[in-house]
């Protein structure tokens, strides 16, 4: 993409520098990669890709939120991850050449950049720092999946919900009104897919947490008021 405006190019380079996967690349490599990226915009509720589709690109989030989920044959869904600004997703299918292992949907209006599989694999093969950073990313993914599986197997709904809320507050929390507000809209249906429970059970758990003074609900906004006591609820 030879015609990228210089100011736009610098914005892309700064985005890449904030992403740990690309932090080890030198300025020349970052500039080259920034030229090759393509911007895409998605409205809230848009499917970005579906499970079992061919994987042809890596995604870098400039703004917005994307949920990574696995659809079940029964129509239920299991949300495994929420990606936000400066996060990457979609790398696994590029590495093994197999279909997408999950689906991706925008939770709000979202802007991403894509890097083609060809360009991605070229950097993996040619740049040791990039390959090491990719291994670290995959290791973190594996740890997250392991913890998530343990949560589903060993924790009750209240504990699973407490863990999910604390994780989102840690990543997307904003200090506000004496608590930590999770900085994007969450429906009870969204939360249900994150903790593998019915919406009714999530509703009861939220009501219990609110009555205990652990959180506050305002529409689709959730503010954690006592993270220490909420964390104790996990164990």
- Is the same domain home to 213 and 122? no
- Is the same domain home to 93 and 123? yes
- Concatenating the DSSP letter of every residue in the chain gives -TT--HHHHHHHHHHHHHSGGGTTS-HHHHHHHHHH-EEEEE-TT-EEE-TTS---EEEEEEES-EEEEEE-TTS-EEEEEEE-TT-EE--HHHHH-PPPSSEEEESSSEEEEEEEHHHHHHHHHH-HHHHHHHHHHHHHHHHHHHHHHHHHHH--HHHHHHHHHHHHHHHHEEEETTEEEESS---HHHHHHHHT--HHHHHHHHHHHHHTTSEEEETTEEEES-HHHHHHTT-
Structural domain includes residue 1: no
- Is the same domain home to 203 and 221? yes
What pLDDT sits at residue 1?
A: 44
Checking phi first, is residue 140 left (phi over 0); if not, alpha (psi -120 to 50) or beta? alpha
pTM of the model: 0.91
Among 153, 183, 209, give the residue marking a domain's end: 153
What pLDDT sits at residue 23?
A: 87
- Is the same domain home to 148 and 160? no
pLDDT tens track of the chain, all 235 residues?
A: 457 899 999 999 999 999 999 988 999 999 999 999 999 999 999 999 999 999 999 999 999 999 999 998 888 899 999 999 999 999 999 999 999 999 999 999 999 999 999 999 999 999 999 999 999 999 999 999 999 999 999 999 999 999 999 999 999 999 988 899 998 888 899 999 999 999 999 999 999 999 999 999 998 899 999 999 999 999 8
What pLDDT sits at residue 235?
A: 81
Among 130, 153, 176, give the residue marking a domain's end: 153
Structural domain range at position 187: 155-232
Q: What is the CATH number of the domain that holds 66?
A: 2.60.120.10
Provide the 10 A C-beta neighbour count for residue 206: 19
Q: What is the CATH number of the domain that holds 179?
A: 1.10.10.10
- Is the same domain home to 226 and 171? yes
Among 129, 153, 177, give the residue marking a domain's end: 153
What domain count does the chain have?
A: 2
- Is the same domain home to 61 and 138? yes
- As a whole number of angstroms, the distance between CA 235 and CA 163 comes to 10
What pLDDT sits at residue 70?
A: 95
What pLDDT sits at residue 2?
A: 52
- Is the same domain home to 178 and 208? yes
- Is the same domain home to 138 and 204? no
What pLDDT sits at residue 135?
A: 97
Cβ-count burial 169-201 (b if 16+ within 10 Å, e if not): beebbeeeeebbbbebebebebbbbbbebeeeb
- Is the same domain home to 139 and 208? no
């Amino acid at each position: 993409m030879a015609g990228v405006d210089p100011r736009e190019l610098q914005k892309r380079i700064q985005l890449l520098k904030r992403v740990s996967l690309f932090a080890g690349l030198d300025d020349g490599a970052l500039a080259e990669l920034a030229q090759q990226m393509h911007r895409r915009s998605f409205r809230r509720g848009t499917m970005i890709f579906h499970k079992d589709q061919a994987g042809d690109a890596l995604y870098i989030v400039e703004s917005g939120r994307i949920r990574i989920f696995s659809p079940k044959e029964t129509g239920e869904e299991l949300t495994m991850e929420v990606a936000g600004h400066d996060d990457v997703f979609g790398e696994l299918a590029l590495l093994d050449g197999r279909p997408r292992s999950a689906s991706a949907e925008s939770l709000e209006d979202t802007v991403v950049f894509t890097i083609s599989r060809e360009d991605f694999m070229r950097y993996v093969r040619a740049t040791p720092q990039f390959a090491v950073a990719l291994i670290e990313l995959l290791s973190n993914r594996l740890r997250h999946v392991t913890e998530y599986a343990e949560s589903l197997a060993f924790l009750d709904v209240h504990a699973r919900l407490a863990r999910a809320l604390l994780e989102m507050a840690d990543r997307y929390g904003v200090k506000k009104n004496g608590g930590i507000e999770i900085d994007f809209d969450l429906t009870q249906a969204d939360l249900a897919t994150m903790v593998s429970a019915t919406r009714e059970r999530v509703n009861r758990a939220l009501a219990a947490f609110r009555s205990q003074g652990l959180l506050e609900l305002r529409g689709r906004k959730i503010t954690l008021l006592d993270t220490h006591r909420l964390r104790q609820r996990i164990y």
